[in-house]
Structure 1
Amino acid sequence: MNQKYALLFNPFSFKNGIELKNRLIMAPMTNFSSNPDGTVTDQEIRYYERRSEGVGMVITACTNVTANGKGFPGEFAGDTDEMIPSLRKLASAIKAKGSKAILQIFHGGREVPPELVPNGDVVSASDIPSAEGKPVPRSLDAHEVESIIRDFGEATRRAIEAGYDGVEIHGANGYLIQQFFSPHANRREDQWGGSLGKRMAFPLAVVDSVKKAVAEHADDSFLVGYRFSPEEPTTPGITMADTLALVDALSVKKLDYLHVSLMDFWSEPRRGVEDKRPRIEIINERVGDLVPVIGVGSIYTADDALAAIKTGVPLIALGRELIIDPDFVKKIEQGKESEIVTKIDKTKQEELVVPDPLWKAIVSTPGWFPGVD
């Protein structure tokens, strides 16, 4: 290995003692490839196996904690105990390749397709659609809110029983947890909405539910992370000032990491702070001494990853690049970083081991992946 990149391969230890062999992580990415009953397919297993050998940790695609939280066709489920064998199959495949396996858990909220949920019942914090033409969700009542909070804990128990090394609470990308935090989606006037503090109540209650399940069913080695999107483009919407308040609150919850969901690692704040540094640097400066931060977003080369780690962010997640080149980590380790592929080769689905539904989505969506025009 070129010693220039040695920083990327320093082991990393979480506060609970769990160690990653390097600083590179597979980011959670929806793959649309599970069975209709919510079980994992053999295609998905092979896809994860192909990408689990080099990285220190794999965060899976999101899995719904309730039946009405299913956000995508072909999503694998974690909402009933019947799903535990399926979840275990995936965890075992990832861990057999030497990587830690983290199950991402979520509820799609107002973003779920009506045809995927019971009775087409789309729910959210309030009855505000995400955009014109989108379904108008039904506002959850107080009992339902409490029930979904418990469901996150139950999904965590299933992850523990299935052998995962941890869970990631998906509070990003416009799904239900973010909807409760967002002044766009949350217009409630009860304990779950109104002020900034009340909009944080649901995300923090989910964290508490997950931590309670870990305390009851796992030991200290089980990891709990939280993923969030730092801003929303809408007005009203989440601002960087809102997010800094949220990360302050999360940083005292004894989480194992915070994962900042970004399309571009170097993206700058829209509004809410008078600071033009990248969002990730602002967040890491704010809470990095209390909880490790994972950065992600448009990292395609060894030099991209090195520049990211040199900001002081301790862990770097790779999403699209690990689909484009599953051997990204191995090539750097072997001193072959010049051979890393940075654009999708539309002739190599079989070699890249990408499931059919995900491949069709990639090649038919211009601008999503480099190389798809």
Structure 2
Amino acid sequence: MDPKYTALFQPILLRSGIQLDNRIAMAPMTTWSSNDDYTVSDEEIAYYSRRSNGVGMVITGCAYVTASGKAFHGGFGSDHDDFIPGLRRLASAIKEQGAKAVLQIFHGGRKCPPELVPNGDVVSASAVSGEPGTGSNPVPRALTETEIQSIIRDFGESTRRAIEAGFDGVELHGANGYLIHQFFSPYTNRREDQYGGSLEKRLSFPLAVVDEVKKVVAEHANQPFIVGYRFSPEEPETPGITMADTLALVDVLAKKELDYLHVSTLEFWSAPRRGVEDTRSRIEVIKERVGESVPVIGVGSISTADDALKAIQTGVSMIALGREIIIDPDWVEKVKRGKESKIETKIKKDAGSHLVVPAPLWKMIINRTGWFPIED
């Protein structure tokens, strides 16, 4: 290995007591590839296994915590004990390759297609319709306080199942416009009860989920168990989440003794839109805010080893590879062996089987213009 990349391969000890072998994680990505009964498919097992050799940690695509939270066709579930055997196979496949296995858990909220949820009853923090161009979802129904408390417990129950399935941790998906995000956002949360209104009240649901998950871990995990939290730093809507809001969020999350905060961005170097006056990237601003209180994972358009090195030199604790680890599952191993010049950065149209990508995901990659760099 070229010595200049040593920083990427330093181990990191998380607050839970789990040590990761290096500073590179596989980012969570939806595969649309579960079985028809929402269990983990053989294709998904093979896909994750292929990408688990070398990275310190694999964060799976999101598993819904209750039937009302299904946001994807072909997304796997964690809302019933019947799912544990399949989840156990997934955790084992990842861990057998040397990586720590983290199950991302979520509720889709207003982003759930009506045909996927019981009685077509799409729910959210408030009855705020989707934006133009986001599909034909109906106006969601605002959750009752009793239902909110039930969903909080559902996150805890999914965490218990992750523990029983042998995962090393869970990541709470508070990003990308799903339910936890919807409660934090002033755009989608117009409530006037304990779960909405002021910034502090909009934090109530996300923090209650964190507390419930940590309580379940304390009760059920007999060995160290990771709890991470992913969030999107800003929204384009007005009113919407600003960088000032996000800094308030990370202030309280930093006190929750989490193992990491995972910033969801498409571009690592994207700068704040509003809420703070700063020319640095959002990730750098967030990292400075939390200091050494909690590790920060940065992600977004990191393709080459030099991209990763530049990102880690900002002071973030880890970087996550998403699209790039699909394009080249051997990314980490190539850097370790001094073959970083051989890293593939564009996907070949006929490489789906070779790359061990499930057919539904491969179809999305090839047909969604601009999502992946595709070789002509």
TM-score by length of 2: 0.98
Partner of 1:196: 199
Partner of 1:6: 6
Partner of 1:23: 23
Partner of 1:99: 99
Q: Which amino acid aligns with 2:129?
A: P
Give the SS at the match of 1:369: coil
User: 1:170-218: CA deviations, max 9, x gaps?
Assistant: 0000000000000000000000000000000000000001001001001
Aligned pairs for 1:221-370 (under 5 A) are 221-370=224-373
What CA distance in whole angstroms lies between the structure 2 residues aligned with 1:316 and 1:156? 24
Q: Compute the displacement of 1:372 (Å).
A: 6.8
Give the SS at the match of 1:348: coil
Q: Compute the displacement of 1:220 (Å).
A: 5.5
Give the SS at the match of 1:349: coil
Contact 1:366 1:372 in 2 (8 A): no
What CA distance in whole angstroms lies between the structure 2 residues aligned with 1:251 and 1:350? 42
Q: Do structure 1's residue 42 and structure 2's residue 45 form an aligned pair?
A: no
Contact 1:110 1:122 in 2 (8 A): yes
What CA distance in whole angstroms lies between the structure 2 residues aligned with 1:86 and 1:254? 30
What CA distance in whole angstroms lies between the structure 2 residues aligned with 1:328 and 1:13? 23
Q: Which amino acid aligns with 1:366?
A: T
Aligned pairs for 1:38-187 (under 5 A) are 38-132=38-132, 133-187=136-190
Q: Which amino acid aligns with 1:124?
A: S
**Structure 1 unaligned spans of 5+:** none
Q: Compute the displacement of 1:371 (Å).
A: 1.6
Q: Please, which moves more after superposition, 10-19 or 247-256?
A: 10-19
User: 1:250-269: CA deviations, max 9, x gaps?
Assistant: 11011110000000000000
User: 1:96-139: CA deviations, max 9, x gaps?
Assistant: 00000000000000001111111111000000012135420000
Q: Which amino acid aligns with 1:131?
A: E
Q: Compute the displacement of 1:15 (Å).
A: 2.3
User: 1:229-276: CA deviations, max 9, x gaps?
Assistant: 000011110000000001001110111100000000000001000112
Contact 1:363 1:372 in 2 (8 A): no
Contact 2:68 2:117 in 1 (8 A): yes
What CA distance in whole angstroms lies between the structure 1 residues aligned with 2:223 and 2:97? 23
What CA distance in whole angstroms lies between the structure 2 residues aligned with 1:322 and 1:47? 11
**Structure 2 unaligned spans of 5+:** none
Contact 1:66 1:151 in 2 (8 A): yes
The 1:150–1:372 alpha-carbon spacing in structure 2 relative to 1, beyond 3 Å, is farther
Give the SS at the match of 1:224: strand
Q: Which amino acid aligns with 1:211?
A: K
**Aligned match for 1:211, one of 210, 214, 232:** 214
TM-score by length of 1: 0.99
User: 1:266-300: CA deviations, max 9, x gaps?
Assistant: 00001000112100000000003100000000000
Q: Please, which moves more after superposition, 126-135 or 174-183?
A: 126-135
User: 1:304-338: CA deviations, max 9, x gaps?
Assistant: 00000000001000000000000000100111000
What CA distance in whole angstroms lies between the structure 2 residues aligned with 1:156 and 1:351? 34
Give the SS at the match of 1:98: coil
Give the SS at the match of 1:32: coil
What CA distance in whole angstroms lies between the structure 2 residues aligned with 1:101 and 1:129? 35
Q: For the aligned residues, what is the CA RMSD? A: 0.9
Contact 2:114 2:137 in 1 (8 A): no
Contact 1:365 1:372 in 2 (8 A): no
Contact 1:123 1:138 in 2 (8 A): yes
Q: Please, which moves more after superposition, 125-134 or 184-193?
A: 125-134
- Report runs of 4+ in structure 1 exceeding 3 Å deviation: none
What CA distance in whole angstroms lies between the structure 2 residues aligned with 1:50 and 1:367? 25
Contact 1:16 1:220 in 2 (8 A): no
